Every structure is written in structure tokens, then in C-alpha cells.
Chain A
Amino acid sequence: MLNSRRRGVALTSVAASVAVALTACGGGSIAEETAANEDRAAEFGDCGDLNMAINPWVGYEASAYVVGHVAEETLGCKVKYKDLKEDVAWQGFGTGDVDVVIEDWGHPDLEKKFFAEQGDGSAMDGGPNGNVGIIGWYVPPWLAEEHPEILEWENLNDFAEEFATSETGDKGQFLGADPSYVQFDEAIISNLGLDFEVVFSGSEAASITAFQQAEENKEFLIGYFYEPQWLFAELPLAKVALPPFEEGCQDDPADVDCDYPETVLKKILSTSWVDEGGPGVELVQNFEWTNEDQNQVAKYISEDGMSPEDAAAQWVEENPDKVEAWLPQ
């Protein structure tokens, strides 16, 4: 009984304080902003929706949000970002869930399923995005400095024991990458006769943590990594030279005995979305930038802790001429 009376009193006082707050904060600007939004929408005409897949690495995010920012602010498109891994993202082309994958590292298997030549034709190649991917074997900077000879693959066996962990026994541990990435390390190790065993990190976050810890604690570590990647700004990993890539040396996954080729990263687009046309399509097709550009935005996100939206906005503001070149004519 007492409780409910107290409750009544409490509620009355809440109501009273709310009323005070109400009078204190005047100004009905929600209605104003609504009107402004309506005007803006009328002015832009209809760019429509742009469904942008976000594959889970920072470089990708940088490219996606810069394109998205331009589409939204300059062209008035409604951009939806969708956090998806590659495999699921490609499935979305056929259903209208996804329009753009902005950075593709090469997925022959998915191309077979979804490109027109062999698959259902729901996806199409949107041309290079200007970035070049470098995949390879990397060691932490302290190790490259202390034992520079480690940067030649021929010398790796001399250090195999140093690389051993509780997982590999006497053999050296080679840290494999997130399973979604293109990798032939098991074959390279066995075909080059290296005394190493691949332990798969299972995720990019795990690989990054391992490299950070190895540098901090001066531990031996060698593993799969790639550029462009935000980590290099904080930790300039050193690349180990493998036998150079030659055309055809990676055709049979079991016989690979050479380094990874440089990968021209490309855009993958939804066929039906491209057919519809519009300023958004032109923008995405025109988009091209360099590794340095992407690294700059990735640095804003990872090192400076900015949100991807803010990072993109800042870069766009700093590079008006580059952005200008992508806009529909």
C-alpha cells in the first residue's frame, strides 16, 4: 500500500520535472528539418537506392564509404551499407539485396556461379577500382631488422625451430589467414621443402593480434598478410621474398611454388542494378583511386578512431578534384 502511494508521488514529481524541462527547451526544429529534407529530395530528383556490401576489412570499408558519401551528399542517393562476407554478398546480387561489391580480390568460384558466362548472370565485372593488392609472407619489423637474412625464403629453414610453437612441435609455425582469403601457403611450403606447418589464424583480427604481440614481445612470427592494410601504418611488416611469380605458376593449387601475383582489385556489380542505370551507377563505374588514397582513409578509421562516415567525409573534402572526376557528366 505504502509502495503504491509512494509510486504515485514519484510519478507526479517526474511529470512535474518533465513539464519544467519542456518549457526550458523550446524550439520545434524536427518539423523544420523534415521540411528541409523534403525540399532537398525534390531538388535532387531520384537517384534511388544504392545497396553497398561491406566486406569485413578496413580498406574495403574506406572505399565503400567514400563512394557512398559522394552518392549520398552529391547525388542524393539513399545508400544502405550491408555488413556481409564475400560469399553471402555475392548471393545478394540476384535478390536485389546487394548492388555493389567495391573491392574484390578474385573469386573464380563465385564468378562461375554468378557471372553470365557460366552462371545465372546476376553479377558482372565492374572494372578495376585502382587499388592493387599485394599478398605475401610477412614478418614483424623487429625480426626483419635483427635477422635481415630471414627475408629470403632460402634461409627460412635455418630459423624453423625459432618459429616453432606449442601447436607445431619441432616444425616452424606459419600463420595462415582468414579462410575467406586466397591462399596457397600449404602447397608453397611443401613444394619449396620448408620445415614449416600452417596454423590457420581463422580470422583477420586474430592475425593482426598475433603480429602486434610478436612485435611487442620480440617473438618469431611469419604469416600470410596483405597490402593495402591499415596495420602497416602502425606496424610496417616486412615481406619475405619467395620465388617470383610467373604466369601459370599458380594455376594448379597443389603445385604452387612461387610468390602471389599482384592482384588488380575490381568492382563487382549487380547486373539488374546496372541495367536500371542512373547517376549512382555512373559514379560507381567511374570510381578509381590509389592505394595511398585508400590507406589515408583507412588510417583515419583505424588509427584516428573516426567513424567510416566521418573519415570518408574528411577525405572527400580534402580531395575535391579526384571526386569531381567520378561524377556523372
Chain B
Amino acid sequence: MSTLAPPRPEAAQPDKSPPAEVKRWVPSSRWAWALGVVVLWIGIWALTKGNDTLALAGRERTGVQDALAEFRDKVIASRGDNPLIQLTYEIGSGFTSLVDWLQRMVSVENFPRPVPEIGWLGVTAVAVWIGLAVAGWRIALLIAASFVSFGVFGYWSDAVDLLIVTFVAVAVSVLVGMPLAVLMGTGNRAVNAVMTTFLDVFQTIPTFVFLAPIALFFGIGASGAVVATLLYALPPIIRVAGHGIRTVSATTIEATDSAGQTRWQRLAKVQLPMARRTIVVGLNQTTLAALSMATIAAFVDGPGLGQPVLDYLKTVNVGGAFVPGVLIVVIAVMLDRTTTAASEYGERAARGGVDLKRRRIVLAAAAVPVLVCLYMSRTYPWAAEFGDSTWGPRLADAVNDFFGWFTDNFRDLTQGFKDLTSAVLLNPLESLLAESPWWLAAGALLLLAFVLGGLRALVPTLLCVAGLLYFGLWHDAMITLNMTLVGTVLVMVLALVFGVWMARSPKLDLVMRPLLDAGQTIPPFVYLIPVLALFGITRFTAIVAGVVYAAPVAIKLVADGVKAVSPTTLEATRSTGSTTWQEIIKVQLPMARASLVLAANQGLLYVLAMAVIGGLVGAGGLGYDVVLGFARSEEWGFGAAAGISIVLLGIMVDRIARAAAQKTSR
């Protein structure tokens, strides 16, 4: 979660117009070549393994890592008179006072009042009214239910705090992000390429690396939380909105240009309005990215639901952590559905599909009870503060019971599965990647990149390999790469099974979607302990955590891709009397190939994004290095080098996969 892999809008729309005729998929010569490279690699590996692996012993550190640590120490030592730090610190205290003020208004006691200025009833009423105004009564009901659930489960303040931090971070993201999106949408190819790379880096760098410096530059608490959230939430809106602006149809622009408009007019009157829908998608993605930082922000004392999640981890109370974790999912679903519905509602209104006069009357009438609720929540304790309820603890106990029962009954099975996978897949592949001399593994990766993706893949791979060697964590990088690859294989197995199944059965689709949303937004800390109990402190636990996180995205992509296969084609094959199995294997999967490739690419990045979380449960590799760097100040340079290495790995596999996919689709 620390590093949600980037949702890539450019690629997120798989080719919707599959080739008209059904082709049988023939492995091209490229795959034969790739196989040849792997065979050659194994041959040389057998002779040379264990030499030049560049493994660092114990506490050994390279010069580059020491230099990074020294740089940070200097920054800390100079913090009293460094003008940059003083500026950022001012910005940080601005965020803190804003969040603090909002908290005293709606979530924590505003001394000497024993309660906030506006209690839960008032806050809920206002939120419901806003939902009614922007998205209609269904969303208003959803908001009401969500807000009441915060209180009923005993996390009113934390939930509202999380909303406050998210709101501030998203607002700043929009302020800073929209101009950049315009730049990206209207700039030339070079601008676009540079910005894309920057965004990739920001979205793959593990936030753990940045937490300590963020605390140093911006302060602890709300300020650190807002900045950490902001850094992570900013890229989606730039990327998605930029893409939207760029893809406004050229004909429209030409037509309006011929009317003699200025560039500003073109932007304000044509490009931005026409990209509106995509911009809202960007806003939506930014909001969800912000929420995924909830638990990470709690590491620097950020207010919100992340704090109770981490608190319960101290006593390994899975059920306890589950309750606030699920409320984060509730918030995510609420905000996701609200922004989406608001955009649809807005469009309908713009087309005249909404009776504006009636709407105004309804909203004005609805404002009356809202005002009454506001007044009551300022006056009566019951409307200001939720009474104690046993729902939260009861749910927690139920989850603990279930988890205990599940572990007792399935542990042998899961341990067996773990041992089997380790023996046949994980260990041999790790040996090949990490026990090869560095020059062999690097050479093989470069050759594979070239064979699969041509020059477009070779150049970035070369840069990334050089970077990995420079930062001195080659061996750990190969261990992490191995776990990522195995995790991706598991993700793709799940994606194929459930994706196809969902595409063929609308009922299953209906049941699975909310579960997939939850899998993507629930903080991994919540399910780490159960996974740990089932699989032990192993690389496999880390892989499973990565799979839980990555599978939803891949499953959705495959399901959508398979669903998009034209019904006429299916009719045609059915009329020839093929079986269901033949239909899937020979028609649906080959025609959804673009989606499968995209799912694999995204799955891989999402699994890699969980490397740091894996470091918290014994996976070793770069993830542990990052955790170590955050935990011990003398190891910060080492952790930073590991964080950069994760970015390099991510960019490398992404560029290879994209170049390969492009070649495939040609």
C-alpha cells in the first residue's frame, strides 16, 4: 500500500475493437528467442552460480549508501538555519493549523467545550445534504449510512479526521495538479515523456523512504500526513487529467480555432470542458490514492483511521484492526461512488435532464432539517457525541473467532502449499536470479528485454540495470524481482479463473465487484497477521499479501476484456457447436489478449508495490532494507538506496512489458 502502483489511464482502456476474424495465437519467433536466452542463462548459471552475486554481508554498506546517509545527517544538522527547511516548515504548520481547526469544528473537542463545535448529527446532516445536491438521493442515503457506521462502530473522530486529511490533501492536489495537467495535456512529446517518467517515479517510490525526511521538512502529525498523502495522491490527477486534455478531438479544436480563439479561450472553453469526464476520473483516482496512504500517514502520527489499525497491531489483535480497516473501505467506496455519480449527475443537468427549479426547491426544503440537526448537535450531548456501542468490539470478536477457526483448520493446507510453491518455483527461480553472477543476470535481462521489446525496451533496461548496480543492492533487487515474478504468476492464475468466470456470469460479477474494491482499499496491515499465521514468516507471506492487493485489478481488467469480446463472434462460434471450454480457450482469451497483457503488467507493478509491506513480515530483499532504513537512523542511506532500487525495478519491468505488449498487438 505504501506504493500503490500507478493506474495507467493511457493503457487502462484496452483495445475495444478486437480484430474481426479470430486468429489462432501462434507463438512468434520472439518467444522462441526468449526461451533460448533463458536456456543459455541456466547453462552458464550452472557453472558459475554463487560467484560475483554482489551480496552485501550483514552491516556492510557501499560508498553511495554512506553518502546518502551523510547527506541526510547534514540536512538534519542544518535544520536550524536552512531557509528551505524553514519555508517547508511554515507550509507544514499551515497544514497543521488548518487540519487542527477543522478537527475542532467537527471531530475533536474544542476546549473548553467537551465536544466539537458541530457534533455528529450536524456533520452527517450537512454531508447528506451535499450528497443530495451534487449526486441525488441514492448517494445521499449512502453517505448517511457511511457516516452513521463511523459512529456505530466507535470510530467517529478517527473517520472524520481521515476525511479531513484526505480533503485537504486532495484540494491541494487539485490546485497544484491541474496546472501541471494542462502543461502535460498541451505540451509537446518531450514535456510529456519527462513528466511521465517523473510521475512513474513518484508513484513507485516506497513512501517509507520519504516518511522521515517529510517529518524533518514539514513536521510531525497532520502536516506530515498531509504532505505524505499529497505526494502520493498528486500523480493520478496530473496523469489522468493531462490525458483527458490531450485526447480532446483534434477536429473540435480545429473547428473552434478557425473561429479565431486565443490559446486561453481554447483551454477554458474547449479543452477543459470537453475533458471534464476524464478530469473527474482523475479526481476520483487521486482521492482513492490519498485514502490508501491512511495507515502510512499514521507512522508520522497522522490523524485518522490508520492510527487504530496500527495500534491493534501492537497486540496482534486482528479483529480490532479489522474494524477501522473496514471503515477505510467504507470511506473509499463512499467517495468513489459519490464522485462518479456527481459527474454523471452534473452531465445530466448540463444536458437539461434535471428539473432545476424543482431541484432548488427540494434542496431549500432539505436545508431546514439540516439546520435543525446542526442546532441540536451544538446543544445536546446525544447529538454531539456518539454513545458507546458494542458493535465495534462485537465485530472484532467475531473476526477474531473466525480467524482462529480458519487458521486452525487450514494451516496445514496453506503450509503445504507454501512449501510446494517454494520448492518448485520460488527457490529455483531465486537461485537463478540471485545466485547468478551479476554480469550474467544483467546480461540475460538485457537480452530478454531486447528480444521481447526491441530497442524501446533495451534502453530503459540498460539505464535501470546500471542504476541498480550503482546503488549497490543488486542481490537484494534480484530477490525482490523473484518474489514479484512469482506473485505475478499467482495473480494471473487468479485473474484468468475469476476474470473469465465473472465475464460469463453476471451474478458472480455483481458479488465480486465490491469484494475486489475492498481488497484494493483495505490496508494490508489488517490482513498481514492472518496471512502470517497461515504461511509463517516467509517470503511467501509477502507474496500472498502482494497477490491480495494486485489480484483485484488484474481480475477486473481480464473480466472487462473478456466481456468486450463481441457477442456476434461468440454467436458464430457457438453455431459451430464448440464446447464452453473451446469457446474460452479459442475465442474469448485470444481476443482479450490486450487486456491479459495489461493485467499482467499492472499485476506485476502492484505486487512490486507491496515489497515494503513484505519487508515487515520477513520477506527480506529490498522491502526489508527500506523498513530497516526507516527504523534506524544510521541506516537511512541504505534504505533510501533500496527505495530507489525498487523504483528502478518497477520502471524496468514496466517498460519491458509495455514494449513487448506493443509488439504483440502489432
Residue numbers of A with Cβ under 8 A of B are: 1, 3-4, 7-8, 10-12, 14-15, 18-19, 22, 25, 27-31, 33-35, 37-38, 41, 56-58, 61, 78, 82-88, 90-92, 94-95, 97-98, 107, 109-110, 113, 119-120, 165-167, 175, 178-180, 186-187, 199-210, 212-213, 217, 230, 253-254, 301-302, 305
Contact (Cβ within 8 A) A27 B113: no
Option from B221, B528, B623 in Cβ contact (under 8 Å) with A97: B221
Q: Which of B232-240, B560-568, B625-633 contacts A (4 or more CB under 8 A)?
A: B625-633
* A202–B113 CB distance below 8 A: no
A37 touches B355 (CB 8 A): no
From B216, B365, B628, A179 is in contact (CB under 8 Å) with B628
1/0 per residue B69-95: CB within 8 Å of A? 000010011011000000001000000
Task: Find out whether the CB atom of A167 lies under 8 angstroms from the CB atom of B631.
Answer: no
* A-contact bits for B343-382, CB 8 A (1 contact / 0 none): 0000000000001001101100110110011001011111
**Chain A contact residues, majority secondary structure:** helix
The number of residues on chain B lying at the interface, defined by a beta carbon within 8 Å of a beta carbon of chain A, is 87
Q: Does B301 contact A (CB under 8 A)?
A: yes
Is B634 touching A8 in the complex (CB atoms < 8 A)? no
Q: B452 at the A/B interface (Cβ < 8 Å)? A: no
A34 touches B114 (CB 8 A): yes
Given A4-B355, A97-B221, A165-B536, A30-B630 contact (CB < 8 Å): no
Contacts of B89 in A (CB 8 A): 95
The reply to whether B617 and A95 form a contact with Cβ atoms under 8 Å apart is no
Q: Which residues from chain A contact B310 at a C-beta distance below 8 Å?
A: 56, 83
- Check: B340 CB closer than 8 A to any chain A CB: no
Q: B300 touches which one: A27, A88, A175, A199 (CB < 8 A)?
A: A88
B residues sitting closer than 8 Å to A (CB atoms) are 58-59, 73, 76-77, 79-80, 89, 111-115, 132, 137, 211-212, 215-216, 219-221, 298-301, 307, 310-311, 313-317, 355, 358-359, 361-362, 365-366, 368-369, 372-373, 376, 378-384, 393, 407, 411, 418-419, 422-423, 426-427, 528-529, 532-533, 536-540, 615-620, 623-624, 627-628, 630-635
Given A87-B630, A167-B538, the answer on whether A27 and B617 have CB atoms closer than 8 Å is: no
Q: Is the CB of B215 within 8 A of A92?
A: yes
- CB <8 Å contact, A8 and B362: yes
- Taking a contact as CB atoms under 8 Å apart, the answer to whether B220 and A208 are in contact is no
Interface pairs A-B: 3 shortest CB-CB: A180-B631, A37-B112, A15-B369
User: Are B372 and A87 closer than 8 Å at their CB atoms?
Assistant: no
Q: How far is the CA of A25 from the CA of B221 in the complex (A)?
A: 38
Most buried by A among B301, B393, B624: B301
Question: Can you list 22 pairs linking A and B with CB atoms under 8 Å apart?
Answer: A7-B366, A15-B368, A18-B376, A22-B372, A28-B380, A37-B112, A83-B311, A87-B212, A88-B220, A91-B216, A92-B220, A107-B633, A178-B631, A179-B632, A199-B538, A200-B620, A202-B537, A202-B618, A203-B616, A205-B314, A213-B411, A305-B393
Shortest A232–chain B CB gap in Å is 13
Please state if B314 and A61 are interface contacts (CB–CB under 8 Å).
yes
Q: Known: A29-B381, A88-B211, A209-B529. Contact between A7 and B362, CB under 8 A?
A: yes
- Complex formed: what's the CA distance from A8 to B365 in Å? 8
State the CA gap A183–B190 with chains docked (Å). 49
- In the assembled complex, the Cα of A110 lies from the Cα of B634 at a distance in Å of 8
Residues on B with beta carbons closer than 8 Å to the beta carbon of A175 = 537, 618
Chain A residues contacting B540 (CB-CB under 8 Å) are: 166
A37 contacts across to B, CB distance below 8 A: 111-114
Contact B359 A57 (CB under 8 A): no
